[in-house]
């Protein structure tokens, strides 16, 4: 009986040792898998950006990353369209954060695909924030497990990575969820992207443009040697001289006639007595102010009638 018990214990120990060796072997075999096998198993790796594109992006600076991602994601009008600019800014931030974290090529590609899916859920599916958070939680299924039954796409990360990734998406996407919903549901106003420009044309080549060294010369030198002289007036003909002489003669006759009329008026006034001048002034004043007095009297009567009408209305109201 004692021998049987000893053999049973040895058998159990041997079986346990073999099971541990098999588990260690499976773990080593999983760690030794190539990147190609990992890519085939994980649906998020090399889906949006492949391995070659990821390597090229990791070696570029921020401006080059922006240009390459605009080509990869087909965002051709990001410099003028706010919708494309916001998407490109989001993806550049995601990729640059993965670069700062030092993730592998597979992890970078998988995380970029996850970011693309989450933004696609807002843009095209108009998904509620709770549903999108559930989708992100499903992506993290299998993180930290050696053999996950239902990997969600981000199972290539560790548990510590999952916490950091969740915090990143909270601050970069979910915290601004309504802003992204607004951008993807409203049309950009035309006046924001439209601009009218006026262009000044160069003068014809038949004149100096600009004047050569005009600002570097003394004024008298420029006036004497560089400035274009004014055109010489054509010589006056006999007809022009006769017309000018006739015009001057007409002006002279008009001036003499005006002086004669003024002298005649002064002579008439000098012969009149003060009483005669006073009578003339009174006659002129009567003719001038006659119509004015009639107009003022009519306005006064109209004003008086208006006031009387108002008084009668007030009296009627008071008596009733």
- Give domain limits for the chain: 1-34, 41-188, 272-320
Long-range contacts of 124-130 (CB under 8 A, 24+ apart): 126/181, 126/184, 126/185, 129/174, 129/177
CA distance 267 to 281: 18
Cβ contact 63:29 at 8 Å:
no
Q: For residue 80, give the DSSP letter.
A: T
Which distant-in-sequence residues (6+ apart) come within 8 Å of 217 by Cβ?
A: 226
pLDDT recorded at residue 121 = 92
Confidence (pLDDT) at 93: 93
**Class of residue 99 by CB neighbours under 10 A (exposed 0-12, middle 13-18, buried 19+):** middle
Give the whole-angstrom CA distance, residue 64 versus residue 95.
Answer: 12
Give the C-alpha separation, 104 to 55, whole Å: 10
Structure tokens at 103: 């993730």
**What is the model's pLDDT at position 264?**
81
pLDDT lower than 50: segments of the chain: 1-40
pLDDT in the model for residue 88:
92
Query: According to the model, what pLDDT value does residue 65 have?
Result: 92
Which residues have a Cβ under 8 Å from the Cβ of 172 and sit 6 or more positions away?
Answer: 90, 93, 94, 97
Expressed in angstroms, the distance from the first to the final Cα of the chain is: 137
Per-residue pLDDT tens over the stretch 245-271:
888 888 888 888 888 888 887 777 777
């Amino acid at each position: 009986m004692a021998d049987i018990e000893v053999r049973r214990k040895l058998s159990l120990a041997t079986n346990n040792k073999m099971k541990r060796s098999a588990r260690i072997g499976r773990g080593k075999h999983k760690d030794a898998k190539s990147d190609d096998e990992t890519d085939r198993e994980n649906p998020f790796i090399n889906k949006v950006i492949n391995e070659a594109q990821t390597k090229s992006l990791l070696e570029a600076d921020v401006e080059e990353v922006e240009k390459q991602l605009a080509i990869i994601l087909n965002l051709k009008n990001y410099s003028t369209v706010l919708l494309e600019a916001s998407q490109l800014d989001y993806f550049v931030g995601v990729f640059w954060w993965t670069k700062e974290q030092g993730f592998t090529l597979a992890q970078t590609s998988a995380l970029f695909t996850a970011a693309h899916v989450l933004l696609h859920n807002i843009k095209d599916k108009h998904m509620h924030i709770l549903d999108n958070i559930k989708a992100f939680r499903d992506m993290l299924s299998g993180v930290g497990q050696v053999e996950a039954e239902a990997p969600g796409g981000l199972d290539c990360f560790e548990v510590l990575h999952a916490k950091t990734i969740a915090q990143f998406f909270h601050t970069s996407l979910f915290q601004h969820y309504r802003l992204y919903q607004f951008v993807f549901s409203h049309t950009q106003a035309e006046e924001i992207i439209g601009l009218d420009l006026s262009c000044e044309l160069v003068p014809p080549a038949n004149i100096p443009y600009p004047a050569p060294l005009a600002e570097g010369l003394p004024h008298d030198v420029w006036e004497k040697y560089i400035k274009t002289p004014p055109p010489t007036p054509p010589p006056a003909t006999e007809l022009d001289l006769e017309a000018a002489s006739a015009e001057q003669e007409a002006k002279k006759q008009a001036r003499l006639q005006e002086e004669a009329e003024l002298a005649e008026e002064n002579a008439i006034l000098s012969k009149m007595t003060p009483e005669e001048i006073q009578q003339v002034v009174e006659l002129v004043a009567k003719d001038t102010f006659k119509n004015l007095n009639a107009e003022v009297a009519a306005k006064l009567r109209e004003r008086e009638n208006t006031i009387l009408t108002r008084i009668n209305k007030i009296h009627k109201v008071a008596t009733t």
